[in-house]
Structure formats: C-alpha cells, structure tokens
Structure 1
C-alpha cells in the first residue's frame, strides 16, 4: 500500500509539472498476465490474475486524467487497457507496435496525457523511440510491474521508470 501511495504522490508531481507548459505525458505499461498457450496461439486471453492486475493498474492510475488510451490490437493488451479507459470514460485507440511514435501518433497525442499498453519487447522500445535514445531494455516475461512515465515538451524529453508491485 505504501508503494501505491508513493506512486500516486509521484504521479501528482509529474502532472503538476506537465500543466506548466504544453507537455505530452505518456504512461506506458505492458499487458498483464496472459494464458500460457502453445506457440500457435499469438493472441491469448488474460488469466484471472491478469484481469485482477489490470484492475489494479486502473486503481494505481486512478488519479491521472487520461485523454487517450492506446493498445496494440491483441486481446491481452486490450483487456489490460479496458479498466483504465472505462474509468476515464474514453475508448481505446489502437497502434501498430512496428510503427510506434510515428508523426501521426505524435500529432494525435500532442499536449495530451496518454496511457499506452504494449508488450514486454514493444513497451521499452516505444519509450526509447519517444526519448530518441536506447535507454530501456526488453522486459522479462515474468515482470508486470514496470510503469514508464515520459514527459515531452518543445525543450526536453525525460522519463522515469517505476516498479509497482501489487
């Protein structure tokens, strides 16, 4: 519980900073626990624990007012994004992980607060594309705790990686 409170305090401070100028703030997480299947199923559902963890992400992020929620077009990422999108009364937009942070995405999200739900390999890669540097490595398959927060404005780009255990 102390970790969640600390994360919320950090999020409030980030939002206060972003309100000072036209800052785009991205929150990036990977999908929650998926059903382990044979290699032929590239689109598994979430496990019961995964659905619970998706709801916990919505609770952790409940004090953030999201303008947009993005997900790759897979059941596990969509189901992870749903509780947060629902809490913000917004729909889920889709992005292609192979074309993340292209000009169209940048234009659509400029000045917004955005949640992006991806995968163990695409989420750190997405953050790196936003930052323009190779700062983060692929997430281990057992890790569902990473929360990347990236702020972009005309003068700078910065990021923070938090580990939220629940």
Structure 2
C-alpha cells in the first residue's frame, strides 16, 4: 500500500510540474472621447462636455476590471479620457509615442497584464493591428468615440474583438 501511495504522489507531482500556468495579456484600446471642435486650427483640443461625460462612463466601464497599467498619447483629449479611470484605479498614466507602438519595451512592460490604451481614430486600430501582427482593422470614423477594442494574448495565441460602449 505504501508503494502505491508513493507512486501516486510521484505521478501526481510529475503531472503538476508538467502543466504550465497560462499566461494571458489583455489590452483594452479606445479612442479619446468627444473633443472640442470649435477651433479647427487647434491641434490639441480639450474634451467637450459630452467627452468629459464619456470619460467618466469609461471609468464606470472599467470599474470591475483589474487594470495593471494605463497608456495614453500625450494630448489633452487622450489624457483627459484616461484620467477618470486612472484616478479610480489609482494608476499613473504612461505616455506612449503613437509613431512607435507596441515596441519590445511596451511588450515586456505589459506582458501578463491587463492594460488600457487611449489613442486616436487612426492610431487605435493601428495599435491593435500591430499587436495582432496583421492588418485586420481600418481607421475609425472621426466621430466614433464608443468603440472598444479588446485584444487578448493567451500563450501566444492572439484574438481581438470590438464592442460598442455607449
């Protein structure tokens, strides 16, 4: 009986050590909320009233999601979109350069984490495509402030979906 018990423990221990823990990274990517369009020459406008309200709704959306990091381009409208969520999560907003998305540093810093990325109508789908390694998504409509791209990487397998969050 002792031999069977020892054999059972050995086999069970071997099976446990052979199974690897699943590594999952999740990216939530959104475009900034509605911006002030009263001055077409202003390249860095703030959010308008509707945009500030949407930024608060994004914070409500992410309330039950355990975010590890928040990234935003360094523009007023993207930072203002990220701020309510960052405040509620007590996280700093990390800036990224939209010309250098999903580089090795970003990948290493976010591997195995759940991350919010705030960008623009042209950079958000591009960022998603860079993560996926394929040209799957086209630029967003300039008035689309409700699309949420969710990209998951589980043990190297990459998947994406889009949700509308009004």
The alignment's TM-score, normalised by the length of structure 1, stands at 0.85
Residues 22 and 155 of structure 2 are in contact (CA less than 8 Å); yes or no, is this contact kept in structure 1? no
Question: Which runs of 5 or more structure 1 residues have no equivalent in the other structure?
Answer: 1-19
Shift of 1:37: 4.0
C-alpha deviation, 1:52, in angstroms: 0.4
**Matched residues in 2 for 1:92 and 1:63: separation?**
19
What corresponds to 1:80 in structure 2? 81
Is residue 149–residue 160 contact of structure 1 (8 Å, CA) maintained in 2? Answer: yes
- The alignment of Structure 1 onto Structure 2 pairs a total of residues equal to 146
Alpha carbon RMSD of aligned pairs, Å? 1.1
| C-alpha distance in 1 between matches for 2:165 and 2:57 | 10
Residues 92-141 of structure 1 deviation map (CA, whole Å, 9 limit, x = unaligned): 00000110000111011111100000000000000000000111111101
2:67–2:114 contact (8 Å) kept in structure 1: yes
Say which one has the larger Rg.
Answer: 2
Structure 2 gaps of 5+ residues are: 1-20
